[in-house]
Amino acid sequence: MSIEEANLLLNDWVTNERLRLHMKQVAANMKAWAEEKENADEHLAKKWELAGLLHDADWEKYPDQHCRIIIEELESRNIDPEVIQCIASHGPGYFGVEPQSKMDKMIYAIDELSGFVHAAALIRPTLYEGLEVKSVLKRLKSPAFAAQVSREDINDAVSRIDVTLEELIQFIIDHQKAVN
């Protein structure tokens, strides 16, 4: 599946602009991480990007069956099993599939934090401009802010990778601010 086809599927299945943006931001972070931190070639970086683009594709239409439906769809289209495993494991506490590869572990961590960083940017007059890691960390310690984002999941996800929370927040700020 090409990135163009994945975008068509995303735009077809998801009407909520916020959710679309979230998926595109996760995709941008995943692609950039693969290229900059994992030395990925074009083919591998595309897998990371595809997983990000499609990981929540069935969330709006089938919230009770998230991510079973998108996985069935991708299996019927013969998508790379590594991409399918990555999507299946992006919420181990909910779907019962453990992240195995670095790609799996990174989507779990980026998914949780990307939405949180975006929420922290949205309440600022200058949005991402001047947004600092320490202010995101401060918001994380305030349970009322973006209360739907599980701090437990963030900590669990980050504990599985050799990246600090601070480093990942900075990476996300830098790489998703241009996606809108």
Dmax (CA) for the chain in angstroms is 45
Q: Looking at beta carbons only, is 16 or 130 nearer to Fe ion?
A: 16
Query: Is the distance from CB of 158 to CB of 169 less than 8 angstroms?
Result: no
Q: Looking at beta carbons only, is 56 or 58 nearer to Fe ion?
A: 56
Q: Please, what is the minimum distance in Å from the beta carbon of residue 67 to Fe ion?
A: 10
Q: Interface with Fe ion by CB under 5 A: which residues?
A: 56, 111
Contacts of 99 (CB under 8 A, 6+ apart): 89, 90, 92, 105, 107, 108, 160
Q: Please, what is the minimum distance in Å from the beta carbon of residue 148 to Fe ion?
A: 12
Burial environment of residue 115 by CB neighbours within 10 A (0 to 12, 13 to 18, 19 or more): buried
Q: Please, what is the minimum distance in Å from the beta carbon of residue 26 to Fe ion?
A: 6
Q: Looking at beta carbons only, is 46 or 118 nearer to Fe ion?
A: 118
Nearest one of 173, 113, 108 to 146, comparing CA atoms:
113
Q: Looking at beta carbons only, is 63 or 125 nearer to Fe ion?
A: 63
d(C-alpha 157, C-alpha 159), whole Å = 5
Q: Please, what is the minimum distance in Å from the beta carbon of residue 111 to Fe ion?
A: 4
